[in-house]
Amino acid sequence: MAYCSECTYLDLTSHDLNGKFWCETRLERHSACDLECYRFCRAYSRSSSEAESAYRYSKEHTDGSGCYLTTMLCNILEMPDDNYYLETMRKFRKNVLQKDEKYKPLLVEYDIVGPKIAEALNNDPLKYQIALKYFNEYIIPVINILRENKNDEAINLYMKMTNSLKNFYNLGNISPTTLEIESADIEKSGHGIYKVKKIAKM
């Protein structure tokens, strides 16, 4: 197994703000931490430090959060980070989900399973087609339902999307424990990075 960072066709001078580099054979951008594709050709003249540096650059930018929605919309479908869909969901998370303890398990699950989904999706050869399918079948409808202020209906559809992705990538056995839910900082939950709440010093 090899990564794009080791491929001669990945131009390591062409990185963008999303952690992607230009692939000269597939004529599209890829993360240096993507798994090799069928056109992989090892760059024997490239030093291991150069390949590792590119790999880390992509990891830092694509995994800055394990938010699979960001992976789907920004890294794969190449929308800007402040696109309408993400911004709407971020406001909903901040103004509704993080304000109510009953949504804490939902937020923590996203932090626990989200990075796994993001990684699996990012390494899927059919990631563009899959991202587009979920965008059309789930994300757009969720946003439309939120616009109608049908919060519970939107949450149920979002949960259906997450469960569908968990099953698709055989991640159905990954769920937050009771301790993880209780220990999480709800104000920082739902970003794809698990955060434990700080304990006040006596």
Q: What is the pLDDT of residues 46-105, one digit of tens each?
A: 998 899 888 877 876 654 456 899 889 988 998 887 889 999 999 999 999 999 999 999
Last residue of a domain, one of 47, 62, 77: 62
Measured CA to CA, the distance from residue 48 to residue 178 in angstroms comes to: 42
Residue 146 lies in a domain: yes
Fill in the amino acid letter for 30.
Answer: H
DSSP H or E stretch at residue 147: helix 140-147
- Dihedral (CA of 26, 29, 31, 32) sign: positive
The average confidence (pLDDT) of the chain is 88
Mean pLDDT for 113-126 is: 90
- Into how many domains does the chain fold? 2
Does one domain contain both 75 and 171? yes
Q: Which residues have CB under 8 Å from 38's CB, separation 6+?
A: none
CA proximity to 88, closest of 174, 25, 12, 148: 148
Examine residue 195 and state whether it is found in any structural domain, yes or no: no
In order of 102, 113, 150, 151, the CA distances from 118 in angstroms are 25, 9, 27, 25
Do 114 and 157 reside in the same domain of the chain?
yes
More confident residue, 109 or 16: 109
What tokens were used for 110? 């996203």
For residue 40, give both structure tokens. 């992989």
pLDDT at 61: 61
Helix axes 151-168, 140-147, angle to 10 degrees: 170
In the prediction, which pLDDT does 124 show?
A: 93
Domain-embedded: residue 22? yes
Residue 198 lies in a domain: no
The answer to whether 83 and 168 are in contact (CB under 8 A) is: no
Q: What is the pLDDT of residue 202?
A: 47
- Tell whether 94 and 177 lie within a shared domain: yes
Range of the domain at 39: 4-62
28, 91: one domain? no
Boundary (domain end) residue, out of 42, 62, 82: 62
Q: Is residue 168 part of a domain?
A: yes
Mean pLDDT (whole number) for 1-22: 87
CA 77 – CA 155 distance, rounded (Å): 23
Question: Is 201 a residue whose pLDDT tops 70?
Answer: no
Angle (CA) 127-133-134 rounded to 5° is 90
Same domain (yes/no): 11, 87: no
Co-location of 102 and 147 in the same domain: yes
Mapping DSSP to helix (H, G, I), strand (E, B) and coil, where does residue 34 land? Answer: coil
Are 43 and 79 contained in the same domain? no
Measure the CA–CA gap between 191 and 153, rounded to whole angstroms. Answer: 21
The verdict on 107 and 128 lying in the same domain is yes
pLDDT the model gives residue 18:
67
- Quote the CA–CA distance of 197 and 199 in Å, as a whole number: 6
Q: Decide if pLDDT at 151 tops 70.
A: yes
Residues 180 and 109 in one domain: yes
Residue range 161-173: average pLDDT?
93
